[in-house]
Structure 1
Amino acid sequence: MIILVTGAGGPTGEAVSGYFRKNGHTVIAVDKEDVDLLDRTAVQGLADRIEREHGRVDGVVHLVGGWRGAGSFAETSLDDWDLLHDLLIRTLQNVSLAFEPLLRGSDNGRFVIVSAKAAERPSAGGAAYAAAKAAAEA
């Protein structure tokens, strides 16, 4: 399989990439130093390059994320909302839009994200995080 792992520089990304490599799959591991996932044009360029080199993608494991929270809802910073929107939603939008056609070229294409229980049962101080996770799930 041809597997793209975004957010591959973190511990989870390294573990996921290692798992797929160990099982004989081709892993394209990218992190923020490799491509700016907030830049739609850059993400499309990555998809175009992978299509030229491999013709398809069988799996995308999107591990870009982060967490911000506060002691209460009223203490939540609007900067946290902006950061979480970019990390959890915008990167996902850019990657899923660019790679959906390549996944369709696979016999069994899959797109994977990691969610959180917070999306189901948010706390007041974790509202921004929970909202971003719920949007990512949608």
Structure 2
Amino acid sequence: MPQRVIVTGGSGGIGAAIVARFVADGAQVAVLDRRPPAEGSASVFVAVDLRDPLDTRRAVGEAVDALEGVDVLINCAGVFQHVPLLDISIDDWDLVLDINARATLVTMQAVAPVMLGARGGTIVNIASMAAKQGGGGEGHYAASKAAVVALTRAGAQEWGCHGVTVNAVCPGYVLTDMGADTRSEADVVAWSAKSPLGRLGMPEDVAGVTYFLASPAGGYLTGQAINVTGGMIMH
């Protein structure tokens, strides 16, 4: 039976690469996003406002119904802002934490009863290298991604006895549209030099690790925050 997969933020960037990786393996994939994915790239599309917990629960429920269950949840939706700590407004904080952290909690809560009832399932939360070393110029973003890692560990501890694994992936610098307006060519060169591999990440790098975690080969991993940083972070 094909895997039934829900991907938030699956219409672009890392999320679209994750969707493509699962679809290539024959999975049935539901994308939850503000805008539709490329035509034919997913099995189901459900429009959602992830800042609205009720709408988020509604969208997850529609996706589960359309797929006739859920085997994998991937939380990939996220927003990024580059703002000095003294300049982070309450509105900035709420926006980033609502989408990056609170929506992750809500979607996890929404799929958990289905997975617990089925005695199995996989949740992969896309966090960030910022969860482990971030801060300067991105305090609220780093805080939101650290919260994602904490939620991952809590889910792994509470739901492992029901056969549900929960892991996080922590990408480093990945060239996507998110953050494009805050980086220059000089930044790309400087960041690439931080990796022993001498390059930045591609969305497909993150998609490959995410797919592994949802496959039988990753079945004994849970509660982990796995770096996909080209060696920029090694802990």
The bucket for the TM-score relative to the shorter chain is: 0.7 to 0.9
Higher relative contact order (CA 8 A, sep 6+): 1
After superposition, the Cα gap between the structure-2 partners of 1:78 and 1:102, relative to the gap in structure 1 and judged at 3 Å, is same
Match of 2:32 in 1: 30
Match of 2:142 in 1: 130
Q: Deviations over 1:40-75 (max 9, x none)?
A: 3323333333444444211011111011122x4223
Paired with 2:12 and 2:82, the residues of 1 have a C-alpha distance of 21
Match of 1:42 in 2: 55
Match of 2:201 in 1: none
Among candidates 74, 80, 101, match of residue 92 of structure 2: 80
Name the SS for the 2:30 alignment partner. Answer: strand
- Alignment root-mean-square deviation, CA: 2.0
1:103 pairs with 2:115: yes
TM-score (norm 1): 0.85
Paired with 1:50 and 1:84, the residues of 2 have a C-alpha distance of 24
After superposition, the Cα gap between the structure-2 partners of 1:16 and 1:131, relative to the gap in structure 1 and judged at 3 Å, is same
- Asked whether the equivalents of residues 44 and 98 of structure 1 are also in contact (C-alpha less than 8 Å), the reply is yes
After superposition, the Cα gap between the structure-2 partners of 1:131 and 1:24, relative to the gap in structure 1 and judged at 3 Å, is same
Paired with 1:107 and 1:21, the residues of 2 have a C-alpha distance of 24
Name the SS for the 2:148 alignment partner. Answer: helix
Computing the radius of gyration from Cα coordinates, the structure with the larger value is 2
Among candidates 61, 64, 68, match of residue 77 of structure 2: 64
1:2 pairs with 2:14: no
After superposition, the Cα gap between the structure-2 partners of 1:12 and 1:124, relative to the gap in structure 1 and judged at 3 Å, is closer
Paired with 2:68 and 2:116, the residues of 1 have a C-alpha distance of 11
Name the SS for the 1:123 alignment partner. Answer: coil
Name the SS for the 1:74 alignment partner. Answer: helix
Match of 1:20 in 2: 22
The percent identity for this pair of structures is 29
Structure 1: 5+ residue runs without aligned partners?
Answer: none
Quote the offset at 1:30 in angstroms.
Answer: 1.8
TM-score (norm 2): 0.53
After superposition, the Cα gap between the structure-2 partners of 1:89 and 1:22, relative to the gap in structure 1 and judged at 3 Å, is same
Paired with 1:43 and 1:77, the residues of 2 have a C-alpha distance of 25
- Asked whether the equivalents of residues 21 and 27 of structure 1 are also in contact (C-alpha less than 8 Å), the reply is yes
Paired with 1:24 and 1:103, the residues of 2 have a C-alpha distance of 20
Structure 2: 5+ residue runs without aligned partners?
Answer: 36-46, 151-235
* Aligned AA (1:2): R
